[in-house]
C-alpha cells in the first residue's frame, strides 16, 4: 500500500478495494468447531495471503497514508452457491438486513473506498513548483482570494 501511494505521486488517487471478511459468522463457526481449511473458493481461498476484518483493513490503510472515504459490507453470494432463485435472492436480502445490524459479523466481504494522502516529498515538490510559478508570474498570487 505504501508503494502504491508513493507511485501515485501528486495525483492523490482514490482506490476501491474488496477483500474477504475473516470475521464472517460462518468462518467464526468453523473456527469454533476446529476447522480452518483453505479451499479453492471463498473466504479461505488459497490465494488469500492476508486475512482482514473491518478494523484491521482500516488500520492498514490509515497506517500507510490513506483517508477512508467509504466502508460497506457485502453479502454472501448465495445465488452463486444455491442458484439464482427465490431462496438465493431471499438469503441475500436477509444478509443485507443483518449487515445493517452487525456489519462485522454478517459481511462476507469488505468494500472500502479510500484516497491516498500526499507524502512529504510530494508536498515539498508541490510547494517548490508553486513557488517557482509565483516567481515567474507574480499575478498568480494576486488572483487568489
Q: What is the pLDDT of residues 6-24, one digit of tens each?
A: 776 667 778 899 999 989 9
SS3 of residue 99 by DSSP: helix
pLDDT of residue 44: 66
pLDDT higher than threshold 60 for residue 143? no
Cell of 140: 498568480
Rounded to two decimals, the pTM is 0.74
pLDDT of residue 32: 86
Distance from C-alpha of 91 to C-alpha of 80, rounded to nearest angstrom: 11
99 contacts 107 by C-beta, under 8 angstroms: yes
Distance of CA 58 to the CA centre of its chain: 7
HSE-up (13 A, CA, CB side) for residue 99? 20
Q: Which residue in the block uniquely carries the three cell numbers 438465493?
A: 88
Beta strands in the chain (DSSP E): 14-20, 66-74, 109-116
pLDDT of residue 133: 74
pLDDT in tens, 34-55: 877 766 766 767 676 688 999 9
Q: Which residue in the block uniquely carries the three cell numbers 473491518?
A: 54
Q: How many CB atoms lie within 10 A of CB 102?
A: 11
pLDDT of residue 19: 92
pLDDT class for 141, splitting at 50, 70, 90?
low
pLDDT in tens, 50-98: 889 999 999 999 999 899 999 999 999 999 889 999 999 999 999 999 9
- More confident: 142 or 65: 65
pLDDT of residue 11: 72
Amino acid at each position: 500500500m505504501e508503494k502504491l501511494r508513493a507511485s501515485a505521486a501528486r495525483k492523490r488517487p482514490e482506490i476501491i478495494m474488496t477483500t474477504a471478511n475473516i470475521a464472517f459468522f460462518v468462518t467464526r463457526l468453523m473456527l469454533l468447531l476446529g476447522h480452518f481449511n483453505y479451499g479453492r473458493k471463498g473466504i479461505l481461498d488459497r490465494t488469500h495471503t492476508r486475512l482482514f476484518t473491518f478494523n484491521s483493513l482500516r488500520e492498514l490503510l490509515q497506517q500507510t497514508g490513506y483517508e477512508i472515504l467509504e466502508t460497506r459490507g457485502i453479502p454472501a453470494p448465495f445465488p452463486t452457491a444455491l442458484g439464482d432463485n427465490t431462496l438465493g435472492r431471499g438469503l441475500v436480502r436477509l444478509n443485507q438486513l443483518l449487515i445493517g445490524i452487525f456489519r462485522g459479523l454478517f459481511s462476507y466481504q469488505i468494500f472500502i473506498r479510500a484516497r491516498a494522502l500526499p507524502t512529504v516529498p510530494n508536498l515539498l515538490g508541490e510547494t517548490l513548483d508553486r513557488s517557482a510559478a509565483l516567481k515567474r508570474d507574480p499575478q498568480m498570487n494576486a488572483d487568489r482570494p
